[in-house]
Amino acid sequence: MGYRSDVGFACDPIIKQVIETMAEWDSEFKALLDDSDDVSSDDFGRYCWHSIKWYDSYPEVQVIENIMIMCDNTDITGCSYDSYGFVRIGEELEDIEMKGEPAKFDLYVNRSLDI
């Protein structure tokens, strides 16, 4: 079964173009994007995965991770830590990972209890 997470990734139009280009070159990455809920409503990219095995060792996950590293380490106009937002919520209560600027893209963690 494996450890599963809910993952959200949002990005500006420049990074969305990078993602779409990578999907043309990499069929495993394209399959990952196809498995997401693409909730893009404009030129910005918005992807959401529910109950996914998000392991850094998976090549298709490495593409997203590498794009985030590129944004974090690049000093090019339009490519920086605020070009994307990433949130991963794991199965454990305290397992929440955030990268970039999730709030810029209205990407937030919301936990609730329903009875």
Q: What is the pTM of this model?
A: 0.89
Nearest to 19, CA basis, from 64, 56, 59 = 64
48-93: per-residue pLDDT in tens? 999 999 999 999 999 999 999 988 887 666 566 689 999 999 999 8
pLDDT at res. 8:
96
What are the C-alpha distances in Å from 36 to residues 7, 50, 74, 93?
A: 9, 8, 27, 23
Nearest to 48, CA basis, from 108, 114, 112 = 108
| DSSP class per residue in 24-57 | HH-HHHHHHHHTSEE---SSSEEEEEEEE---TT
CA-based R_g, the chain, Å? 14
